[in-house]
A = this chain, B = another copy of it.
Amino acid sequence: MKNRIEYLKHYLKKYNIKPSTIRIKTLDYLLSNDIHPNVEEIYKKLIEDIPTLSKTSIYNTLELFVEKGLVQIVRIDDKDSKYDLNTDPHGHFICNICDKIYDFDIKDTKNIEKELEGCNIGSKNIYYYGICKKCNENL
């Protein structure tokens, strides 16, 4: 456990983020759940440990994480924002039936980017919508 916390602190440090209880636990949550949580979900989980927790702190923490490049915002629907650990660039497939969000690799985007010559590409978001394998099989 001690090691885990040291690991999380080090992880934050890499992104130039000073560790704090909430930041460590938020990162822990993001690393332990390969999902794309929203503020509500993180809040519900963390308040089990930190009874005085406020949603504002989750917002603050995630805002900082985004700023420092540790996570990215995933805007899939208009309801709320989801947060995703920033790993290699990848796409998101959202199933219209079960609402699950799947990550998928983006091997080669050269074809797409042909049109963008002269532009300076900073980041990209690729969202696909449809019916996932599992739901397809149950139809």
Q: Residues of A at under 8 Å CB distance from B?
A: 73, 75, 78, 81, 91, 93, 96, 104-116, 118-133, 136
Contact = CB atoms under 8 A, between A and B. Distances in A.
A119 B105 contact: no
Nearest to A97: B120
Main SS of chain A's interface residues? mixed
Contacts of A112: 91, 106-109, 112, 126
One complex includes copies of this chain to the number of: 2
A15 to B, nearest CB: 20
A116 B128 contact: yes
B126 A120 contact: no
Given A75-B75, A126-B112, A119 B96 contact: no
Contact of A111 (B107, B124, B133): B107
Contacts of A113: 128
B123 A130 contact: yes
16 contacts: A91-B115, A104-B116, A105-B115, A106-B112, A107-B114, A118-B136, A119-B128, A119-B132, A121-B128, A121-B129, A122-B130, A123-B128, A123-B129, A124-B129, A125-B126, A126-B126
